[in-house]
């Protein structure tokens, strides 16, 4: 049987990959994809804990995380399309209107 | 058997996650993410979360990823020629955070085995039924709030993607094409 800690380390690796992706990619679409990676890493953790502690609350929480992820993608991609229409670019470093 | 399937799913998930971040072309990244979603669904099945595995495939692989593909193709995104200039700093911070989490997890004394064998009521009733019962009794109010979030996201997406709502009437992207 796999110990719970291996699931946590797997999810930590995926989460950190997402964080690094947010930090190093130039493209806003890629930044959103990295956020998806992070959400999925937390989902792995929730489901693993739900199984090991025999509690269905973890799976219910993954369900809500999915809802929020779907909302986030819809709004985020709409923002990207509005941005592209206005500025003809989606490179993160060129969108500095509100930068201090 | 259990650890073998975890090894397979875990390896593929980590590999594809790194590919998502590392690949230069957004289209390839999205495809790598698709493979990762399928393997996460497989991992959910080995953890006896069959309902969530199905939802993962339908919502993530079926809906969210198609949206991403749609936008990547619509905007005709060029491939990145380089990463951000804080590349080294980002990698260093990531490795630091990973080392910290690994240390905490190894020191925390987490359970090795599931606390109870699953041949109990939760399994005999079926995973979907158990989740549904919890969703519509204990978590009824959060469930309704989630539907409100979806409504807000729907209205917001339509509002922002609609022409003339944000920015100038003739978009810069169109002006750039017309002036050529």
Q: Express each pLDDT in B1-44 by its tens digit.
A: 678 999 999 999 999 999 999 998 889 999 999 999 999 999 99
Cβ contacts of A82 on chain B, cutoff 8 Å: 160-161, 165-167
Whole-model pTM: value is 0.87
Give the model's pLDDT for residue B121: 47
Using a CB–CB cutoff of 8 Å, tell me whether A85 touches chain B: yes
Cβ contacts of A92 on chain B, cutoff 8 Å: 84
Q: What is the ipTM of this complex?
A: 0.91
Please identify which residue in the block is written with the tokens 């539907």.
Answer: B147
Task: Give the integer Cα–Cα distance in Å for B5 and B11.
Answer: 10
The answer on pLDDT for B174 being more than 70 is no
Structure tokens, B126 = 């079926």
In CATH, the number for domain B1-79 is 1.20.120.1200
Q: Residue B48 — left, alpha, or beta (φ > 0 → left; ψ -120 to 50 → alpha)?
A: left
Q: Is A3 helix (H, G, I), strand (E, B) or coil?
A: coil
Residue A25 and residue A34 in contact, taking contact as beta carbons nearer than 8 Å: yes
What is chain A's Cα-based Rg? 17
CATH fold of A4-94: Helix Hairpins (1.10.287)
């Amino acid at each position: 049987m796999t110990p719970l800690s291996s699931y946590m380390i797997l999810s930590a690796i995926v989460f950190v990959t997402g964080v690094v992706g947010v930090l190093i990619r130039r493209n806003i679409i890629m930044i959103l994809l990295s956020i998806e990676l992070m959400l999925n890493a937390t989902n792995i953790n929730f489901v693993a804990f739900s199984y090991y502690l025999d509690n269905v609350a973890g799976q219910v929480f993954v369900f809500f995380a999915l809802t929020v992820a779907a909302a986030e993608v819809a709004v985020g991609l709409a923002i990207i399309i509005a941005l592209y229409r206005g500025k003809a670019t989606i490179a993160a470093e060129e969108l500095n209107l509100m930068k201090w | 058997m259990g650890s073998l399937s975890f090894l397979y799913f875990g390896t593929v998930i980590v590999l594809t996650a790194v590919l998502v971040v590392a690949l230069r072309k957004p289209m390839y990244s999205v495809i790598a993410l698709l493979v990762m979603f399928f393997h996460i669904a497989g991992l959910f099945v080995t953890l006896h979360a069959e309902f969530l595995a199905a939802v993962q495939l339908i919502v993530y692989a079926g809906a969210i990823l198609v949206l991403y593909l749609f936008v990547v193709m619509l905007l005709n995104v060029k491939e990145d020629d380089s990463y951000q200039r804080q590349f080294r700093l980002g990698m260093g911070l990531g490795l630091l955070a990973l080392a910290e989490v690994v240390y905490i997890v190894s020191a925390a004394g987490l359970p090795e085995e599931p606390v109870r064998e699953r041949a109990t009521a939760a399994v005999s009733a079926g995973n979907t039924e158990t989740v549904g019962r919890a969703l519509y009794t204990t978590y009824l109010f959060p469930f309704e709030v989630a539907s409100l979030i979806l409504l807000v996201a729907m209205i917001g997406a339509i509002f922002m993607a609609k022409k003339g709502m944000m920015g100038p009437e003739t978009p810069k992207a169109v002006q750039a094409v017309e002036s050529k």
